[in-house]
Structure 1
Amino acid sequence: MKGQEENGGTIGTSWGKLIKRRYKRWKRRQIKKKNDPEYQKKKRAAARFRKKLMRYLSHAWMFPIVFLYFELLLRIFGQTGIFKGFAYVLLFAVGTGFFCSGVVSLFSKKINRRISIAILFGVGILFIVECLVRESWQMYMTLATIVKGAGGVMTGFSSDLFRSIFTGIPVILLFLLPGILYVILGKKKLPARRLKIPYTVLLFLCAFVLTGVGSFAASHLGAKDKYKSQFEFNKATETFGLLTGVKLSSKYAIFGNDAANQFAEETSVAEKKNSKKNKDYGENVSDVDFAKLSESESDETLKSMHQYVNSVAPSEKNEYTGLFKGKNLILICAEAFSDQVISKELTPTLYRLTHKGIYFSDFYQPSWGGSTSTGEYSFLTGLIPIDGVETIQETRDKLNYYTMGTQLMKEGYHSCAYHNGAYDFYSRQLTHKNLGYADFLGEGNGLEDITGSWVGDSVMFDKTMDTYMNQQPFSIYYMTVSGHCVYKKDNVKVKENLETVKKVLGDGLKDTTLYYYCYQLELEKALTVMVEKLEEAGIADDTVICMTSDHYPYGLEVSKTFGNAEDFVTDLYGYKYKTPWEKDHNTWLLWSGCLENENKDMACEIKDPTYSIDITPTLMNLFGIKYDSRLLVGRDVFSDTPPLVIWNDYSWKTDKGTFNAATDEFKPNKGKKVDENYVESINNTVTNKIRFSDQILKTDYYRVVFGDYQ
């Protein structure tokens, strides 16, 4: 032991001496170099070269750093988490920055500087707009959606817009800061210049490598669906960054997205309901031979659509088929309505129409794209809106064959659509006539001649009903406006209803939430007027009222735009939502006087999950309209088709459980067991239904199948 210790000590001493000798040798060399004029000359020359090179290329680093700064700032203000997909954001932001640096380096000093300023402010403004949109609507929107909705916002909700800008000044300044600093200090600190070709090539090479690595990773790793086959702008922006979201949405809009056009192979794992009970009723199908259409079709997209439709099992007719045959129909899309306001004491008419008709206890109106128009589209067409506001705009020149308006017009119904807001908001004057209504009246193109200017829902219902009640059968559509935010104390609806609301609800809710209830009482009043007029005219039993919301009340979210410093949605719901189904639960009001009288035994509760996409096929069946159930994404809720509720981020809910696409997690309902392939199978079904919805509109598929039926 003693020998080992002595040996160890000797080794330690040797190493110490060796290090000491080498340090002294290095020190002597440094002193020698310091006293060597030639060495010092070379050292100074190298330092000058490095400094010159860094100054020469300093401008090239500006865009990568600024773009990464923008992306991180957006994540902070958008509350999406800095580290969620950070590697993607880093690669794409820096890569895009180097690309911009390469482009501007091709120009002379003067032009280079001007382009650089334009890029810094242009990209900064893009981030400002998206940041404010996210703050207001809890999601990012495509540029096309923002541009198409901008006109309506300027005319109809300019006060909200100016409030958003005013309260967002600190955010705006932070995004404009790089541009401002460059204008002030850029000439001295980051001089613009035309680079030599090798340096420009190097910048483009860096851009290509970084974005290439990012694209490869995004296309082949965990986020590949969000990048390609299941691309959705909001989720893509949260994962890959805004610059990449804009790039992909533009790319797919111009060149298409082949990965999103391919239908997945489905494996049936869901059993049909009541197959024995409904076997003698027949099927809801058309006479179109889709197999034959597929064989003769040369266009690959249309061919795959024909094949898909041919592979879908049609729904069965049932005892509810034709129950409302020949009756009048009034469709109501209620602005920002929530089922939370329904109570026997506060809203007796809403309660009656909800519970005395067909009661849907597990209904959802998904937040498709943060706007009223997407809710309207899903309600009226039975298809999933894919492209936000643009979706309903694209219907202008398409054949919207399977809408209730179109089908009832074919049967000779008198028809008209009404909106007590600006007539040209979302260009409704151009879209709604093509959705099955002979005329569309809003504020500015004729509604004011009937009702007076800027009236509430109750006056609109009252005055317009006098124009069509003697023209039976009628098909009417209302888009209400009284429930629209901002919910303010000085609004006339609050002054009229606040005392009543407090008397019923007490002091348990916050003021803004109580104001929301006051706004919705105008809808209660409107429905009361409607039912009374129908009953007085003796046509309540011959009229069907069908109502749902356009979206959840996002005007109660924490938002500077809407003047909310608190989360009033949680106050309204009684819990903080974490999933799409917790946020978007609502009700579908489906009532006819006959369900309280002659057909009282047909009134029932639908406990299975349903959503707005199910409304059109269900009404088609109830009105006895011959339709092909395979051509609608939703289902007739009285059929044997298994329930399926879809969100456009690929989340879903069935009678077996829920799948959250954000977490890639399936949670079975209590007491439910599913096959090991169940989630994959439903995921494929969801993917196909979303793709089919998209392609129906983009290819004008109903015109391909049915021609110009007029």
Structure 2
Amino acid sequence: MKKAAGFFKNWRMCIPFLFLYLEIVFHLYMRLDMTYAPVFLLLAGAAGMFCAGILFFLPELPAKIVGAVITAAASLLFVIECISRDILQQYFQIFSAVETAAGNKLTDYASTVVQSVRENAGGVFLLFVLPLLIYTAWVKITEPKKGGQSRKKEAFINGLTNGLLSLAAAVLVHGAALAVIFFAPWQGDFTPEMLYCTDTNIDDQVEQLGVIAMLRLDVRNQIFGVPEGSRAQIDEEAAAAVTGEEQEIEAEEEKEIVYPYNEMDIDFDALKASASSSGSAWLSEYFASLIPTRQNEYTGMFEGYNVIFITAEGFSGYMIDPELTPTLYKLSHEGFVFNNFYSTLHFTSTSGGEFQNLTGLYPKAGFPVSMSETGKQGTYLPFTLANQLNRLGYTSIGYHFNQNMYGRELSHPNLGYEWRQFTECASPLTAETNEYGNAYWPQSDDYMISQTFDEYKDLQPFNIYYLTISGHLPYSFDGSQMSQRNSELVEALPYSEKTKAYIAANLELEKGLTRLVDNLEEAGIADKTVIVMAPDHIPYSDLDVLEELAGRSFNAESLENLDEKTVDVDVYRNTWILWSASMDEPVTVDKPCSQVDILPTVSNLLGLQYDSRMMAGTDVLSSADPIVIFFSNSWLTEKGMYNRYTGTFEPAEGVVMSEEEKNAYVENIKYIVSSRLSLGQLIIENDYYRQALE
């Protein structure tokens, strides 16, 4: 009994206690669901006992030093996750993210990180300062008495014994955790069992398994790879649930035009038979089960047109105003008008938003970053606009007035663009500087247009891609030089300083678009050019700005953290511009749609040959029903909204379903959602387009 008491009184046992403390405080501070406490506390306790066991094998002084390092490192990791969630609205697999973070240099976020640390000072104290104080006090209070040679020998034997006991306890506690994970009757779309065997859905991993387990699994996956889980069984009936074929059959019966499919001649059965991996086999079987979308009255409407595609940094359509932003208003109201467009947040913010806009696929919900991987691996991406149009003789150039981020020096040439940025490209751009020669931060979108239009105006047909930067956070007149530049234009607006700063920064985009349209008209090519603009993401850390601009509450528990458990999904409602001067009147589209739908829709308008089955998005102008998929895996269609957290489906106004019909519909769409979210990752991992189309 004395030995057992000595074991638990030893200062090394503060490590398991601190791991439990960190998980509990983190979950409470971040307002996470405590339902999963048995899981994340057992996993944290096992990790703590393992670390304590290692410390028991070390002499006293080295053990104290290593213990201090473990405490400081663990506490710092919790703080990093807290700040990451605050700024990027996502937790990060820190170890697999090291390469991305190092490549990005994070200079764009330096002031934002400082601000976030300041705003989360209470969390920093609870998660970093207090654990170090507890460790120091615990070690001092329980410090063993010094003794002679015999006591040292006894201490060595006790340390060895206690170390083995601690490791044995770690194994037992971890076994208990696994039993709870794999055998408890968990309910819901995401369960601890599922999350324990994946390297995606990191926010759910943190909530259900804990920060320590998420980071440990990240290391496991880096070393041993991800355990291959079971993929959804192919369900042709479910796949047909959103094709709109019923309308086509009715049209045929009424002897209306029946348009051909947007498909290519691909033998998916042969591809499945010769597949070298289960992922490739599943993709072939899945694509074969789908009904392609049909062409429609808008097919080829912009065939042969010049294309200018803009991904707008941190843009929200709630800021558009007919007087303050007349060009944005014109382009969003006089072309195709998408009344229910959503820019849903997916992994890695800007890069993830770009990936959706440019590939029609969802990024992997975890590291490695999907867009970056396509560049590093040279993934064949035949359906990007640049690669499609280059085959038709277009000139494709992409511009970003910023340093190299997310490996764009490799990914964007692979998308088909002659890529230009400040660094790591064949023709570096020159930043706008002040009178002292210092580059502005962020750069001006208007300046970007002014410096580049003449380069391509005579290279018709051209396909230009702009990734804007003026709307980058932070939104303050001290933190953004674009906000400073336009401060007088927003001074009289009835908003807070932060919202005024957000609008002021984005006025550089308004100026740039005005310049662009004027230049196109002066060059006589406005009616042979189509402008496409969509955001990369909303200003997701600034819900107070969005609420002011929208003039309504989004029911967020926190104005800094975007929690889809409680927030109204209209926070993601946004503006997709699809405009040409050749349009005589606007075309209104009421279908719910999102960023992955842009590429198939624009491809159809340009009359390009593509296979509609091989993207996650849908041609919104076809008879098919797009699905808006949110980061949490909740979803929205014309027929209603499914809340993944409550497991409930609310039919849209005017939609009547029996309970049986509702249940069948929900299960069908959940299958499609799960499948579509996995396409991007599997296509990249298997270079599937190359297998199917080269």
State the TM bucket, normalised to the shorter chain. 0.7 to 0.9
What is the distance in 2 between the residues matched to 1:623 and 1:552? 28
- 1:405 is displaced (CA, Å) by 1.2
- 1:301 is displaced (CA, Å) by 2.2
Of the three residues 537, 543, 566, the one matched with 1:551 is: 537
Of the three residues 388, 399, 412, the one matched with 2:393 is: 412
- 1:588 is displaced (CA, Å) by 0.6
Contact map agreement 2:531 2:577 (CA 8 A) in 1 = yes
**Any gaps of 5 or more consecutive residues in structure 1?**
1-45, 558-566
User: Which residue number in structure 1 is paired with residue 124 of structure 2?
Assistant: 172
1:486 aligns with 2:474: yes
What is the distance in 2 between the residues matched to 1:92 and 1:378? 35
What is the distance in 1 between the residues matched to 2:24 and 2:7? 29
What is the distance in 1 between the residues matched to 2:184 and 2:422? 46
1:206 aligns with 2:172: yes
Q: Which segment drifts farther, 349-358 or 397-406?
A: 397-406
Contact map agreement 1:228 1:260 (CA 8 A) in 2 = no
Contact map agreement 2:597 2:619 (CA 8 A) in 1 = yes
CA separation of 1:107 and 1:380: change in aligned 2, threshold 3 A: same
- 1:148 is displaced (CA, Å) by 1.3
One-letter amino acid of the structure 2 residue matched with residue 661 of structure 1: R
Of the three residues 52, 70, 93, the one matched with 2:22 is: 70
1:156 aligns with 2:142: no
Contact map agreement 1:360 1:588 (CA 8 A) in 2 = yes
User: Which residue number in structure 1 is paired with residue 607 of structure 2?
Assistant: 624
- 1:140 is displaced (CA, Å) by 1.4
1:89 aligns with 2:40: yes
User: Which residue number in structure 2 is paired with residue 259 of structure 1?
Assistant: 229
Of the three residues 261, 273, 282, the one matched with 1:304 is: 282
One-letter amino acid of the structure 1 residue matched with residue 160 of structure 2: R
Of the three residues 387, 395, 398, the one matched with 2:374 is: 395
CA separation of 1:691 and 1:51: change in aligned 2, threshold 3 A: closer
What is the distance in 1 between the residues matched to 2:390 and 2:217? 40
One-letter amino acid of the structure 2 residue matched with residue 670 of structure 1: E
What is the distance in 2 between the residues matched to 1:434 and 1:580? 37
Pairwise mapping of residues 521-600 of structure 1 onto structure 2 (< 5 A)? 521-557=507-543, 567-573=544-550, 574-577=552-555, 578-579=566-567, 581-596=569-584, 600=585
1:435-490 Cα deviation digits (max 9, x unpaired):
11023233685554486654411111122001100111111111111111212234
Task: State the percentage of identical aligned residues.
Answer: 31
Contact map agreement 1:70 1:127 (CA 8 A) in 2 = yes
- 1:546 is displaced (CA, Å) by 0.3
User: Which residue number in structure 2 is paired with residue 371 of structure 1?
Assistant: 349
Of the three residues 502, 505, 525, the one matched with 1:516 is: 502
Contact map agreement 2:54 2:163 (CA 8 A) in 1 = no
What is the distance in 1 between the residues matched to 2:112 and 2:164? 51
User: Which residue number in structure 1 is paired with residue 6 of structure 2?
Assistant: 52
Q: Tell me the number of residue pairs that the alignment of Structure 1 and Structure 2 aligns.
A: 640
What is the distance in 2 between the residues matched to 1:109 and 1:696? 52
What is the distance in 1 between the residues matched to 2:406 and 2:230? 27
CA separation of 1:551 and 1:580: change in aligned 2, threshold 3 A: farther
CA separation of 1:393 and 1:263: change in aligned 2, threshold 3 A: farther
1:650 aligns with 2:633: yes
Root-mean-square deviation (Å) = 2.7
- 1:615 is displaced (CA, Å) by 0.5
SS at match of 1:439: strand
CA separation of 1:592 and 1:116: change in aligned 2, threshold 3 A: same
What is the distance in 2 between the residues matched to 1:364 and 1:199? 55
Contact map agreement 1:386 1:648 (CA 8 A) in 2 = no
One-letter amino acid of the structure 1 residue matched with residue 205 of structure 2: A
1:237 aligns with 2:222: no
One-letter amino acid of the structure 2 residue matched with residue 128 of structure 1: V
What is the distance in 2 between the residues matched to 1:681 and 1:267? 8
One-letter amino acid of the structure 2 residue matched with residue 121 of structure 1: A
For normalisation by structure 2, the TM-score amounts to 0.86
What is the distance in 2 between the residues matched to 1:218 and 1:111? 41
What is the distance in 2 between the residues matched to 1:219 and 1:94? 22
One-letter amino acid of the structure 1 residue matched with residue 124 of structure 2: I
One-letter amino acid of the structure 2 residue matched with residue 572 of structure 1: L
Of the three residues 445, 451, 471, the one matched with 1:463 is: 451
- 1:576 is displaced (CA, Å) by 2.2
- 1:683 is displaced (CA, Å) by 0.4
What is the distance in 2 between the residues matched to 1:260 and 1:428? 33
1:661 aligns with 2:644: yes
Contact map agreement 1:332 1:546 (CA 8 A) in 2 = yes
Contact map agreement 2:420 2:429 (CA 8 A) in 1 = no
1:134 aligns with 2:85: yes
Q: Which segment drifts farther, 634-643 or 166-175?
A: 166-175
Contact map agreement 1:409 1:415 (CA 8 A) in 2 = yes
- 1:664 is displaced (CA, Å) by 2.1
Of the three residues 354, 360, 369, the one matched with 1:382 is: 360
What is the distance in 2 between the residues matched to 1:76 and 1:153? 31
More helix by share: 1
1:429 aligns with 2:429: no
What is the distance in 1 between the residues matched to 2:117 and 2:553? 30
User: Which residue number in structure 2 is paired with residue 30 of structure 1?
Assistant: none
SS at match of 2:308: strand
What is the distance in 1 between the residues matched to 2:541 and 2:515? 27
What is the distance in 2 between the residues matched to 1:386 and 1:300? 18
CA separation of 1:471 and 1:267: change in aligned 2, threshold 3 A: same
Pairwise mapping of residues 634-649 of structure 1 onto structure 2 (< 5 A)? 634-649=617-632
SS at match of 1:619: helix
User: Which residue number in structure 1 is paired with residue 135 of structure 2?
Assistant: 182
User: Which residue number in structure 2 is paired with residue 26 of structure 1?
Assistant: none
1:26-45 Cα deviation digits (max 9, x unpaired):
xxxxxxxxxxxxxxxxxxxx
CA separation of 1:250 and 1:381: change in aligned 2, threshold 3 A: farther
- 1:256 is displaced (CA, Å) by 2.3
What is the distance in 2 between the residues matched to 1:443 and 1:516? 27
Contact map agreement 2:361 2:615 (CA 8 A) in 1 = yes
- 1:73 is displaced (CA, Å) by 1.9
SS at match of 1:677: helix
Q: Which segment drifts farther, 482-491 or 220-229?
A: 220-229
SS at match of 1:659: strand
CA separation of 1:517 and 1:356: change in aligned 2, threshold 3 A: same
User: Which residue number in structure 1 is paired with residue 590 of structure 2?
Assistant: 607
What is the distance in 1 between the residues matched to 2:213 and 2:570? 30
User: Which residue number in structure 1 is paired with residue 562 of structure 2?
Assistant: none
What is the distance in 1 between the residues matched to 2:614 and 2:3? 69
CA separation of 1:260 and 1:418: change in aligned 2, threshold 3 A: farther
One-letter amino acid of the structure 2 residue matched with residue 404 of structure 1: L
CA separation of 1:221 and 1:231: change in aligned 2, threshold 3 A: farther
1:568-614 Cα deviation digits (max 9, x unpaired):
33223321244462221111100111113xxx4xx411100010000
- 1:96 is displaced (CA, Å) by 2.2
1:103-152 Cα deviation digits (max 9, x unpaired):
44344545544433332222111111001111223331222346513553
Contact map agreement 2:236 2:289 (CA 8 A) in 1 = no
Q: Which segment drifts farther, 113-122 or 70-79?
A: 113-122
**Any gaps of 5 or more consecutive residues in structure 2?**
145-154, 434-438, 556-565
One-letter amino acid of the structure 1 residue matched with residue 24 of structure 2: L
What is the distance in 2 between the residues matched to 1:201 and 1:517? 57
